[in-house]
Amino acid sequence: MIFDIFLLQQVINGLSIGFVYALMAIGFTLIFGVLNVVNFAHGEVYTIGAFIGLMVITALAPPLVAVVPLVLAAGALSGVGLERLAFRPFRRFTDEASQKSRAMREATLLSSLAVSIIAREIMMHLFGGDMQGVPSDYLLQRPVAIGPIMVATGSLVIFATSAVMLGALQFLLYRTQTGLGIRAVSNNQLGARYVGIDTDRTIVTTFAVGSMLGATAGILVGLYDGAISPHMGFAPGVKAFVAMVMGGLSSIPGAVACALLLGVSESIATEFLSSGWKDLITYSLLVITLVFFPQGIFGHGRERA
């Protein structure tokens, strides 16, 4: 019985980690949808979100609820900047051939990688390479008893925030003109252009939305773990990326499901393995998935990309 409760607790922890991965994976998926390229700087957006949040907290000490909108704004800004810097210069050619060309895809893959290196190094200089502590008032580590199980406030905040953001995203994508634009461009960029959608603006919006989700994930984890560092974005970035690929690259529900799966299996794995080995679980799941589902679990025979 004790063990069961413990397991349940681990599942809850895993779900909260999974939702963090999911928030990031959605950003990857949205951006892959509209541009058909991978944004390697997404992990840095997460880190920026955490640092902006921390700066706001240390400077102004606002209530927690006020931190989130500021982080959202910072995320949106960094997304727009990222698109300007690492993606737009490579969209000079808009015909179908170069949109599908491997060269262009690889160029933006590498340019986003280069921008991520630069961003991370700049943060290293501004904040130093060490972990930054979070003021204890803002730490989300207080345990709350729900029936027989103890849940950290951080988990609850992550669940609540993720639910709100997923709902808002759903609303945005399916109930607004902007969302229609994003879906149209994802489906067929040239076609969208022909029916009069401003594809450039849609792409920028997508980056802004995806980066808002990523930045929020960053500050949530920062407050939950109580430590923020310029390198913190790498691991969750890779795992969210893995979730996107396992989900089939272009499926948001697929990415969320796989992100939750990764989070829970990592959390449960720590019961059986020392924590150093837990990352092996993620990568093994990735490789096994790719071997048996070369297009991801939720991928639908997308054209050979």
The site for another protein (CB under 8 A) is made up of 38, 86, 89-90, 102-103, 105-107, 109-111, 113-118, 121-122, 124-125, 234, 238, 241-242, 245, 249, 274, 276-277, 279-280, 282-284, 286-287, 290-291, 294-296, 304-305
Three-class SS of residue 48? helix
28 vs 207, beta carbon nearer another protein: 28
Comparing CB distances to another protein, the nearer of 110 and 144 is: 110
Q: Which is nearer to another protein, 56 or 115 (CB)?
A: 115
Task: For another protein, give the closer residue by CB, 12 or 86.
Answer: 86
Shortest distance, position 299 Cβ to another protein, whole Å: 9
Find the shortest distance in angstroms from Cβ 100 to another protein: 11
Give exposure, 121-157, as e/b (b: 16+ Cβ within 10 Å): eebeeebeeeebebeeebbbeeeeeeeeeebbebbbb
Helical pair 234-246 and 42-60, crossing angle rounded to 10 deg: 140
List the one residue out of 49, 45, 64 whose CA is nearest residue 222.
49
Q: Structure tokens of 11?
A: 């599942």
What minimum distance in Å lies between the beta carbon of 296 and another protein? 8
Exposure b/e, 5-34, CB count within 10 A at least 16 = b: eeeebbbbbbbbbbbbbbbbbbbbbbbbbb
| Nearest distance in Å: CB 169, another protein | 23
Shortest approach of another protein to residue 175 CB, angstroms? 31
d(CA 21, CA 263) in angstroms, rounded, equals: 7
Beta carbon of residue 152, minimum distance to another protein (angstroms, whole number)? 26
Structure tokens at 247: 């989900």
- Tell me the three-class secondary structure of 179-225, residue by residue: HHHHHHHHHCHHHHHHCCCCHHHHHHHHHHHHHHHHHHHHHHHHHHH
| Smaller CB separation from another protein, 177 or 274 | 274
Q: Which lies closer to another protein via its Cβ, residue 8 or residue 278?
A: 278
Cβ at position 185, least distance to another protein in Å: 19
CA-to-CA distance for 204 and 45, rounded, in angstroms?
A: 15
Q: Which is nearer to another protein, 98 or 187 (CB)?
A: 98
Stated as kind and residue range, the H or E segment containing 31 is helix 2-35
Q: Which residue has the tokens 């170069």?
A: 98
CB of 286 to another protein, least distance (A): 4
Q: How far is the CB of 159 from another protein (least distance, A)?
A: 28
Whose Cβ is closer to another protein: residue 12's or residue 44's? 44
Distances (CA, A) of 105 to 35, 78, 109, 209: 9, 21, 6, 21
135 SS3 class: coil
Contact 236, 214 (CB under 8 A): no
Q: Which is nearer to another protein, 54 or 249 (CB)?
A: 249
